[in-house]
Each structure stands twice: as structure tokens, then as C-alpha cells.
């Protein structure tokens, strides 16, 4: 399923197919995508990590780039604090909401710093645990 705008060209190619190699074409596709598609992804259909990154790019990254990484990181930390409070004494709904906030702020920090999270996760965890190399981690496991 196609959603939202691209974070950068590599991500765009993944989402918009081999026919759209050039960023101008991708920009046109991006322009024509509307928020209804964004809502469709959040209303029962699966959203990939890349689609989340694209959604957050569209919603917040321009503002967050202007604010800068350091100030944006402080917002992220504030949300982590709110998650800590929710984990300690919140309802399931409050915990869910705070997880969403923390993830959104983490994703916007990645966008502001031009990090493709899908590529980063694939590179670091795609072949198993970075420590032991196994899909089910056996680090520190006793024989």
C-alpha cells in the first residue's frame, strides 16, 4: 500500500516503485497524496515503519527542523518521562498513547537527522541479534 510522502529518494523508490527514479516525479506524487490516505493507514490497515516515517515527516518535520535537533530531543525526553509515568500508574489506554508519542518523537528525530529507520533497523537487527547473531538472542545464555 502506498502512503504519504517520501523521506528521501531511497525510501521513495521502495514505496513508489521502480518507475519513479527521480525526485521531481516523486515530489509530484507526494503533492497529490492527501491526508485521507494518512488516515486510512491509521484506521485498521497495517502501517509499515517507512510509512510511519513518511507520515511523521509530513506532519512535523518542517517545524522540527526549524526547532533543531537539540530542542526536539528535549521534547522526546519529555515524552519518555510521560511514558515512564504511564507505565508506573497509567491505564492501558494512557500507556498506548504515550508509546505512540515516544515513537512519533523518535521518528521525527530520525527525519530531522536524515536517518532511514527501516534501513537502520534492517542493517542492525535484520540478520539477528547484533551481539550473538541469532534471531532468538542467546547473549549471556547459560549452556
Give residue number: closest CB to Zn ion: 129
Shortest separation between residue 138's beta carbon and Zn ion, angstroms: 6
CB of 80 to Zn ion, least distance (A): 24
Query: Nearest approach, Cβ of 137 to Zn ion (angstroms)?
Result: 3
Near Zn ion by CB under 5 A: residue from 84, 87, 132, 135: 132
* Residue 135 makes contact with Zn ion by CB under 5 A: no
- Measured from the CB atom, the residue of 70 and 141 that comes closer to Zn ion is 141
Length of the chain: 143
The residues near 93 (Cβ < 8 Å, ≥ 6 apart) are none
Q: Got the DSSP string for 73-134?
A: HHHHHHHHHHHHHHHHH--HHHHHHHHHHHHHHHHHHHHHTT--HHHHHHHHHTTS-TTT--
Question: Minimum distance from CB of 117 to Zn ion (Å)?
Answer: 21
* Given 28, 45, 123, 139, the residue binding Zn ion (CB under 5 A): 139
Q: Indicate left, alpha or beta for 68 from its phi (over 0: left) and psi (-120 to 50: alpha).
A: left
DSSP 27-87: HHHHHH--HHHHHHHTTTS---HHHHHHHHIIIIIHHHHHH-HHHHHHHHHHHHHHHHHHH
Stretch that binds Zn ion, among 16-24, 37-45, 56-64, 133-141 (CB under 5 A): 133-141
Shortest distance (Å) from residue 134 CB to Zn ion: 6
Between 126 and 131, whose beta carbon lies closer to Zn ion? 131
Give, as ranges, the residues between 72 and 131 that touch Zn ion (CB under 5 A): 129, 131
Which residues here bind Zn ion, judged by CB under 5 A?
129, 131-132, 137, 139
Amino acid at each position: 500500500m502506498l502512503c504519504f510522502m517520501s523521506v528521501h529518494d531511497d525510501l521513495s523508490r521502495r514505496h513508489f516503485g521502480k518507475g519513479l527514479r527521480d525526485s521531481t516525479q516523486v515530489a509530484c506524487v507526494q503533492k497529490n497524496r492527501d491526508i485521507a490516505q494518512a488516515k486510512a493507514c491509521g484506521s485498521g490497515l497495517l502501517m509499515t515503519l517507512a510509512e510511519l516515517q513518511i507520515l511523521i515527516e509530513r506532519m512535523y518535520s518542517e517545524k522540527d527542523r526549524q526547532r533543531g535537533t537539540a530542542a526536539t530531543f528535549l521534547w522526546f525526553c519529555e515524552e519518555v518521562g510521560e511514558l515512564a509515568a504511564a507505565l508506573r500508574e497509567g491505564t492501558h489506554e494512557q500507556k498506548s498513547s504515550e508509546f505512540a508519542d515516544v515513537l512519533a518523537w523518535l521518528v521525527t528525530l530520525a527525519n530531522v537527522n536524515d536517518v532511514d529507520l527501516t534501513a537502520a533497523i534492517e542493517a542492525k537487527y535484520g540478520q539477528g541479534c547484533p551481539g550473538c547473531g541469532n534471531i532468538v538472542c542467546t547473549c549471556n545464555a547459560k549452556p
